[in-house]
Structure 1
Amino acid sequence: MLVPVFALLLMALAPASAMAQSNEVPRGPTFLDRALQVLVDGIQFGSIIAITAVGLSLVFGTTHLINFAHGELVTIGAVVAFFLNVAASGPGWHLIPAALVAIAAGALLGGLIERGIWRPLRKRGTGMINLFIITIGFSLLLRHVVLVFYGTRPQSYREYDIQQAIDLGPVGITPRDLTIVVLSVLVLLGVAFMLQKTRIGTAIRAVSANRDLAEASGIDVNRVVLVVWVLGGGLAALGGVFFGLTEIITWDMGFRLLLLMFAGIILGGLGSAYGAMVGSFVIGIVAQVSTLWFPIDLQNAWALLALIVVLLIRPQGILGQRERVG
């Protein structure tokens, strides 16, 4: 009987500061901390969109083809790396060599699609509307082929799945995401260097500016277009591996990313590879920052709203050139 009474007396005589300290609730992150964190997440998301959108932009610039099947190249890159890395029937490679093979497979597939489908159709004089509809059908075909072989179950890679974030002041980022951002920026800088400082890059810019004049100047347009498709397929596969690392691998992941790719290209300026890079980063940042106030399910809607607002102010896009109509 004396023990409970003695305990109550100790509690009553305890200093008020000690009582307050024991009941103190840890303070959560401030709004500024959360804003900086989603900004970092937006840069990382935008880098993935940019990697996948550059190839799509180059294809449109050289052929004026709106390729709805480009998202499936993203999915195929992620799935090929998965089968080499994780699947029981696969060789069980580390993700890095598996990703390199996936990039090569995406580049090869892009070249085969150009040589086997689009070049014959162009030679036959198929109209752009017809080609546009064919890309939709081809997208559905590739997507369901992936569904048959991969299935509907979401999967993840064996390596770099769960990591502890590195604290950089008020923000945190995992080594995996930091590596993705750095590699994406390096690849984008490499593409920019190729376009500006190499002969094939000069040829690509010439074909994008004026196809007929480039052909009259002695440029092999078919070879340039083939290089663009190979480059676009490889970049799409790389973006697919990155997207699978940060999110999860599904049979329709490329299709879910396709709308944001188009948004980045249009926002940056149609046919401009540099515009696709800038526009994709803007779309990624707006999508993530919107989650500060609105549900995450609406982040793509707010990114598209930002696209509409920018186009109302600058119809040619951020880095697009004004064109005279009529």
Structure 2
Amino acid sequence: MRLRPALCLVLLVVALFGAGSTAVAAASTVGTAALTARGDDPETVKVTGKLVNRDDTGSTPVGGGKVTVTGASGAEYSATSRPDGGFSVEVPFEVGPLSIELDERSLPDGVTLREGGRNPITRTVSGTLPLTVTFVLGKGDRQTMSWADQIPQSLFNGLYFGLIISLGALGLSLIFATTRLTNFAHGEMVTFGALVTYALNVTGIDIWLAGLLAAGLAGVFGFAQDRFFWRPIRRRGTGVLAMMIISIGVQFILRNVYQFFTGGRTETYRQYTTPEGHRLGPITYSVRDVVCVAIALVLVVGVTIALRRTRLGRATRAVADNAALAATTGINVNRVITTVWSVGALLAATCGLLLGFSQAVKFDLGALQLLVMFAAITVGGLGSVWGAVLGSLLVGTLIEMSTLVIPSELKMAAALFLLIGVLLVRPQGLLGRAQRIG
């Protein structure tokens, strides 16, 4: 019987990912030209992308543009962009430089490569890491924005990112509030949502329906995790520290499973990868952004209302305050905790679905955002629902705004500085309650 939790975890992983091998289907990128250092055939390199002409009136797809890729051996491979602007070129895999060139003579009248834009562009293929190529089309010189002009867009991007991250942080906070477990495997549920959505989407299922199914499967996965793995561990009286270490092990198991099935490649959804941009004053947004924000808002507001108004929500708050006292009043503590795990996994998977649009789909997507989620719930206040949301918005905004003054590669450090500052001034977090220890 001592092996039961471990055996249950193995069975869960096998059951959920036995059917998930379709996630290794090759990506079809429809954003700016993306070079993936392995195509559908492991002996080829796929170059896919979309030609878009941008001017003061908006963005227009450019069809008929000829793109030529020259390999290290000198062989040339060409493709013409479709009416939607998309194109795809596959060349034999060779370690060495690749030259990607846009034939400007093939562009429609009035469409030109912007002055100063590079053409051709050279990239070096050395492994499976994705490379990105962008051709800047449009009349006139390429405009640069001043530091002050970039503030509104950076603020919008930060609030958008923070709202999406708040879904994952909210689930992480709920699990901590009811179990006192710092779940390091929570980021893998974010990845789960993105990978399952991608696997369903490449089979022809609409992206939003695929995301709904992925969130449902994640909820089932979360339920099964607690019912067959974490609950037996809690029943044995395992300490919180030991459970946290176990969650780190679960994190690595799931991440390696993801890496095995995806081959470590970076993939993209088949739909809405490069939506048409719209302008609202100094801010550029897309309909996809509006839909993502609406989904996140509905879930965040829905969860907070449910915690306040429903019987299960009140029971959850009681368990979070004092599980032993809640049990004496007749509340089924185990059922509440299992429900929280299910809801938390659903929220995390939805977070992964939405992150997949802007950050692509890869096996470590959730792991890369786990630190941001931890910073968010710590800044907002551990165990506080609204604290998780507030912390996410603050952290997301600071991360994006910091790119105005520091290189984008260092932007995650901004979240750590905010975390340290809040802990020094208010250790319980902005909306957390101070508690006596000892």
Q: TM-score, normalised by structure 2?
A: 0.67
Deviations 1:141-164 (A, max 9, x none): 011111111221111001101122
Root-mean-square deviation over aligned CA pairs = 1.3
CA-CA distance at 1:217 after TM superposition: 1.1
Q: Which residue of 2 is the match for residue 20 of structure 1?
A: none
Q: Which residue of 1 is the match for residue 287 of structure 2?
A: 175
Could you say what secondary structure the match of 1:173 adopts? strand
Q: Which residue of 1 is the match for residue 195 of structure 2?
A: 79
User: Distance between the aligned counterparts of 2:415 and 2:296, measured in 1?
Assistant: 21
Q: Which residue of 2 is the match for residue 59 of structure 1?
A: 175
Q: Which residue of 1 is the match for residue 86 of structure 2?
A: none
Q: Which residue of 2 is the match for residue 233 of structure 1?
A: 345
Could you say what secondary structure the match of 2:266 adopts? coil
Q: How does 1:108-187 map to 2 (within 5 A)?
A: 108-187=220-299
Paired amino acid for 1:243: L
Could you say what secondary structure the match of 1:292 adopts? coil
Which has the larger helix fraction?
A: 1
User: Distance between the aligned counterparts of 1:191 and 1:30, measured in 2?
Assistant: 40
Paired amino acid for 2:149: D
Could you say what secondary structure the match of 2:279 adopts? strand
Contact 1:215 1:221 in 2 (8 A): yes
Which has the larger strand fraction?
A: 2
CA-CA distance at 1:49 after TM superposition: 0.9
Q: How does 1:1-326 map to 2 (within 5 A)?
A: 28-86=144-202, 91-326=203-438
Contact 1:177 1:246 in 2 (8 A): no
Paired amino acid for 1:169: G
Paired amino acid for 1:119: R
Deviations 1:184-237 (A, max 9, x none): 112101111101111111011110011111111111100100110010010011
Q: Which residue of 2 is the match for residue 17 of structure 1?
A: none
Paired amino acid for 2:307: L
Deviations 1:228-256 (A, max 9, x none): 00100100110000000111101100000
CA-CA distance at 1:31 after TM superposition: 2.8
Give unmatched runs, 5+ long, in structure 1.
Answer: 1-23
After superposing on structure 2, the runs of 4+ consecutive aligned residues of structure 1 that deviate more than 6 Å are 24-27
Q: Which residue of 2 is the match for residue 16 of structure 1?
A: none
CA-CA distance at 1:27 after TM superposition: 6.2
User: Distance between the aligned counterparts of 2:303 and 2:381, measured in 1?
Assistant: 17
Paired amino acid for 1:60: F
Contact 1:33 1:171 in 2 (8 A): no
Contact 1:266 1:279 in 2 (8 A): yes
User: Aligned pair in 2 of structure 1 residues 25, 143: CA closer, same or farther (>3 Å)?
Assistant: closer
Task: Give aligned pairs, total.
Answer: 299
User: Distance between the aligned counterparts of 1:26 and 1:161, measured in 2?
Assistant: 23
User: Aligned pair in 2 of structure 1 residues 107, 25: CA closer, same or farther (>3 Å)?
Assistant: closer
User: Distance between the aligned counterparts of 1:266 and 1:124, measured in 2?
Assistant: 29
Deviations 1:291-310 (A, max 9, x none): 00000011110111011112
Q: TM-score, normalised by structure 1?
A: 0.89
Of structures 1 and 2, the larger Rg is shown by 1
Paired amino acid for 1:66: T
Bigger relative contact order, structure 1 or 2 (CA pairs below 8 A, ≥6 apart): 1
User: Distance between the aligned counterparts of 1:295 and 1:178, measured in 2?
Assistant: 28
Identity, in percent, stands at 43
